[in-house]
Structure 1
Amino acid sequence: MRAAALITAISLAAPAAAGDFLLQFPLDCTLGDTCHIQQFVDHDPGPGATDFTCGTLSYDGHKGTDIALPYLTDMQAGVAVRAAAGGIVLGTRNGMADQYAIDDNAAEIDGKECGNGVVLRHGNGWETQYCHMKRGSLRVESGMKVKPGDILGEAGLSGKTQFPHLHLSVRKDGAVVDPFAPESLESCGTPAGKTLWADPPAYQPGGVLGAGFSAAVPEYSAIKAGTADAAPLAADAPAFVFWAYAFGGLAGDQLELTVTGPGGELISHSEGLNKNQAQFFRAAGRRLRGGQWPEGTYTGTARLLRDGRQVDSFTRSMVIASPEDPASQ
């Protein structure tokens, strides 16, 4: 369960006037819950990187909007990619593997960094491109006409990527356009003009993607895969660990982890970041010192704090039950 952030979403500009090119949200997910925007178009013309708010959710030369899924299990379950606007399919790719980009597969990805994807032509010089889609998921072919909201395929992990997501690029006459700030690509933080979104998505400067319980500190790969949560823990679990997974961390941020149970507070831990981190996790726990963990409900809360203010929080509960008495079976 997610609580409202005290650092509220930055107010976005109004959509373009009627008749202008407008975009629908292209992924079947709930922003801030089952997906988040990990990266925006880079607005720094030099070697640095800033998003359209002058924030850090971008990297040098990034040319699109990355809408990320929290876990690989979300991708495997299937999340539909939809046409952001009506148009004609200009090109597709559908056969690349869903895998993390590493040195061993760099050669097969070279020149195909977009992975599986679709390019749509919308008229008047506008194009949209949808990258990193799941292998074999595409439902369209070159030359087909699509309407806004038509399913193109599913989000995946193909091409040059380190997390399951949809990369949406928008172009006008071949030039990159940021749909959040189409009139100021080489500057940031300027007074808001129009956006290309029919319903402008909120900007979230970081957040907690999820949290869970386990009997040992999990591997980061298991967290990203969505397989790290072992709740409910057994009453005789050797340790009680609460972990949280977050994005958009800045140097100096604090990730605070607390757990309360039948006996009151069980875990209270806060750890700072010493550098900016696009994604990260932290864990805290206690070892079992004889006996069993008390039967009852345990509630863990993860809070991402920036300059002492809450950016986001995530709460998770589970119940530890006493083992059944063999004599009663």
Structure 2
Amino acid sequence: MAGTFLSDAPKLEMPVECTLGQDCYIQNYVDRDPGSGVRDAGCGGLTYDGHKGTDFALLTEAQMQAGVQVIAAAPGRVIATRDGEPDGAYASGLTVSGKECGNGITIDLGHGWQTQYCHLREGSISVNRGDRVKAGEPLGLVGQSGQAEFPHLHLSLRHDDMVIDPFAPDLQDACATNATQTLWSAPITYRPSGWLDAGLTATVPRFEAVLAGAPLPPPRDTAPALILWGYGFGLRTGDTIGFEITGPDGISIRTTSEVDASKARFFRYVGKKAPPGGWPKGRYDGQITLSRDGAVIARRTLTARID
């Protein structure tokens, strides 16, 4: 079946002008569990029940406001568009019933294949019904319209109205980490978890400020505290998070903690109040780790100076 089924399958380009692991990431994969459970392409849980696409997420709202281009993953003819839906409505508690996709585009690729692009930024869609588009052609901007809790593009691929997972299109049970065939024109690595950003700052940060992309005050000698923070995705129950700060005059802060609940996105920080006389001048190093089943699966290191 797989050979016949995939004989005319499209090859998809990255649909967002960003670099995975740097300024964007995949928050959710297609849910491949046929029942009420969840299972993503890598046999993990980075999805939710009934999720029918791949979510390419931005790190901050500031990126969305600056404008990140959505591009056609494959060539075809535009058969439907919708614009004019406000960004952030669902996150603000407003109803989006019947318009869960928000501002969106559907493109017919031929041979029963379609792509659908959801949650684009209000007023950004640059194509019209009937237009023919090439792979890589701009379609609009990443937004947060419809049923979206954060800025992202939801890309769905369908064949004869059946949802197809581009990471494992042959519908077999093999995990995508070992899959030999995907529908991406250039390899996209399956990542179930990771750190997205981290920093050293002078005050306790708010997660809302980090998500908004707001600047945080840098460490300084007169600061009331020194804080190391990390922002990540794909946290699982039983994971271990480690923090370490080292600095001049023997300054050392180390903590580890085990996670008691899975989270799609998470934020953690540790810190210490300033010693008498303030923070000594010099170099400060920070490291955050995420460990699973006794092995480190993600690490971030950073450096700051107090002069």
Kindly tell me: are residues 314 and 217 of structure 1, through their superposed partners in 2, closer, same or farther at Cα, counting changes over 3 Å? Answer: same
Q: What is the aligned partner in structure 1 of residue 206 from structure 2?
A: 219
Q: Distance in 2 between matches of 1:171 and 1:263?
A: 60
Deviation string 1:261-292 (CA, Å, 9 cap, x unpaired) is: 22344321222210111111111000113212
Contact 2:103 2:145 in 1 (8 A): yes
Match of 1:48 among 33, 37, 55: 37
Match of 1:301 among 269, 287, 303: 287
Q: 5+ unaligned residues in a row in structure 2: which ranges?
A: none
Q: Distance in 1 between matches of 2:112 and 2:9?
A: 12
Aligned residues: 302
Contact 1:140 1:152 in 2 (8 A): yes
How far did 1:235 drift? 1.6
Contact 1:183 1:193 in 2 (8 A): no
Q: What is the aligned partner in structure 2 of residue 324 from structure 1?
A: none
The 5 Å alignment of 1:1-329 reads: 20-99=9-88, 101-102=90-91, 104-106=93-95, 109-184=96-171, 187=173, 189=175, 192=179, 194-227=181-214, 229-231=216-218, 233-321=219-307
Contact 1:118 1:131 in 2 (8 A): yes
Q: Distance in 2 between matches of 1:287 and 1:170?
A: 51
How far did 1:46 drift? 0.6
Deviation string 1:220-244 (CA, Å, 9 cap, x unpaired) is: 211211226322x232111111110
How far did 1:189 drift? 3.0
Q: Distance in 2 between matches of 1:230 and 1:302?
A: 19
How far did 1:184 drift? 1.0
Q: Distance in 2 between matches of 1:95 and 1:184?
A: 36
| Aligned-partner residue type, residue 317 of structure 1 | T
Greater Cα offset, 16-25 or 194-203: 16-25
Q: Distance in 2 between matches of 1:265 and 1:156?
A: 43
Q: Distance in 1 between matches of 2:264 and 2:100?
A: 20
Identical positions, percent: 44
Q: What is the aligned partner in structure 2 of residue 327 from structure 1?
A: none
| Aligned-partner residue type, residue 277 of structure 1 | K
Q: 5+ unaligned residues in a row in structure 1: which ranges?
A: 1-15, 322-329
Contact 1:133 1:154 in 2 (8 A): yes
Q: Structure 1 stretches (4+) deviating beyond 6 angstroms?
A: 16-19
| Aligned-partner residue type, residue 309 of structure 1 | A
| Aligned-partner residue type, residue 35 of structure 1 | C
Contact 1:214 1:228 in 2 (8 A): no
| Aligned-partner residue type, residue 88 of structure 2 | Q
Contact 2:203 2:217 in 1 (8 A): no
Asked which structure has the greater RCO (Cα within 8 Å, sep 6+), the reply is 1
Contact 1:51 1:188 in 2 (8 A): no
Q: Distance in 2 between matches of 1:154 and 1:285?
A: 37
Q: Distance in 1 between matches of 2:250 and 2:89?
A: 41
How far did 1:299 drift? 2.0
How far did 1:197 drift? 1.2
- The TM-score with structure 1 as length reference comes to 0.86
Q: Distance in 1 between matches of 2:250 and 2:62?
A: 33
Query: What SS does the corresponding residue of 1:76 show, helix, strand or coil?
Result: helix
Kindly tell me: are residues 229 and 272 of structure 1, through their superposed partners in 2, closer, same or farther at Cα, counting changes over 3 Å? Answer: farther
Deviation string 1:163-209 (CA, Å, 9 cap, x unpaired) is: 21111000111111111111217x45387353211123001120001
Query: What SS does the corresponding residue of 2:94 show, helix, strand or coil?
Result: helix
Deviation string 1:133-181 (CA, Å, 9 cap, x unpaired) is: 1112221111111100001111111111112111100011111111111
Q: What is the aligned partner in structure 2 of residue 326 from structure 1?
A: none
Deviation string 1:105-142 (CA, Å, 9 cap, x unpaired) is: 12xx1111111121111111111011111112221111
Contact 1:248 1:278 in 2 (8 A): yes
Greater Cα offset, 261-270 or 85-94: 261-270
